[in-house]
Amino acid sequence: MKSLHLKSPAKVNLYLKVINKRPDGFHNIETLFERINLFDDIYFKLTNDSKIRIRCNHPHVPCGPKNLVYKVAKLLQQDLGISQGVEIRINKRIPVAAGLAGGSSNAATALIGLNKLWNLGLSQKQLVGYGQTIGSDVAFFLYDYSWALGTQRGDKIKQVKIPKVLWHVLVIPKIKLYAKDVYGHLNLKLTKRNDDVTILIHHLRKNNIFGICSLLLNDLEPSIIGLCPRLLILQKRLKSLNTQGVMISGSGPCVFCLTENQRQAKKIQTILKRQFAQVFVVRTF
């Protein structure tokens, strides 16, 4: 195998509860991941030297050592003594720094792709181990799960079997937020509630859309709104369009809503595109 093309999906978090701060500076969380059908395309090609070359169509994505895909390739080369080089081309469709984990997904896809391209024979457990050193969300994308519960840093993954396919409208305003800044402004005193993700999962399995929407949770929202108060205006706008639930995904600034079906989602997308450049209709994948 000399070349490979893989799709790299995005995610949203329907539930994100911050438990406490860890001694290593990260936070223990409990989150419900939902994989969605918004993808980047990643193309891998073996080269005749040992260099790692990253190319990307997005001007704000670094192509050097700061890129998570580059970090994955370099880590595997150094740890496993790989002398073979690779050229990796990333075609970005997932908005950057939006709370959809595009970078983490790319890193996971790179682990999967390079494991095949370089014939490394790494097990899923080994891939997850590498992923955990790269970023907290990477592990989720190393499993072929539509739904999963993430605990500890969000990197301990347990599959959740939910037959429901949800339709969403995602709106990404022209704002950049980074997880380290959002967590840095987090007030843990405001997150002590008795929310239970198992109740949300129960409503998802029963296809109770109103129960689902009443239990959406993101403990990072107060911190995100504190950093960017105008996101409140966007949330109010979405709520005014007869949507079924509105929340910020992850560390933001992506704001999403749930809809009853694809038709309603498309209708809302048409309205919002008059005001926002990046509006996506997506479903559980």
Residue-level pLDDT, tens digit, the chain, 285 residues: 799 999 999 999 999 999 999 999 899 999 999 999 999 999 999 999 999 999 999 999 999 999 999 999 999 999 999 999 999 999 999 999 999 999 999 999 999 999 999 999 999 999 999 999 999 999 999 999 999 999 999 999 999 999 989 999 999 998 878 888 898 888 877 655 667 899 999 999 998 888 899 999 999 999 999 999 999 999 999 999 988 899 999 999 999 999 989 999 999 999 999 999 999 999 999
Catalytic one of 17, 40, 137, 219: 137
Decide: 77 and 51 in contact? Cβ < 8 Å: no
Cα distance between residue 228 and residue 226, in whole Å: 6
Q: What is the pLDDT of residue 193?
A: 62
Q: What is the pLDDT of residues 113-161, one digit of tens each?
A: 999 999 999 999 999 999 999 999 999 999 999 999 999 999 999 999 9
Q: What is the pLDDT of residue 150?
A: 98
Q: Is 11 a catalytic residue?
A: yes
Boundaries of every domain in the chain: 3-159, 167-283
Which CATH number describes the domain made up of 167-283? 3.30.70.890
Q: What is the pLDDT of residue 175?
A: 85
Q: What is the pLDDT of residue 88?
A: 98
- What is the fold, at CATH topology level, of the domain defined by 3-159? Ribosomal Protein S5; domain 2 (3.30.230)
Beta strands of the chain (E only): which ranges? Answer: 3-21, 27-46, 52-56, 86-91, 147-151, 156-159, 167-171, 217-218, 245-248, 255-259, 279-283
Catalytic one of 11, 17, 92, 155: 11
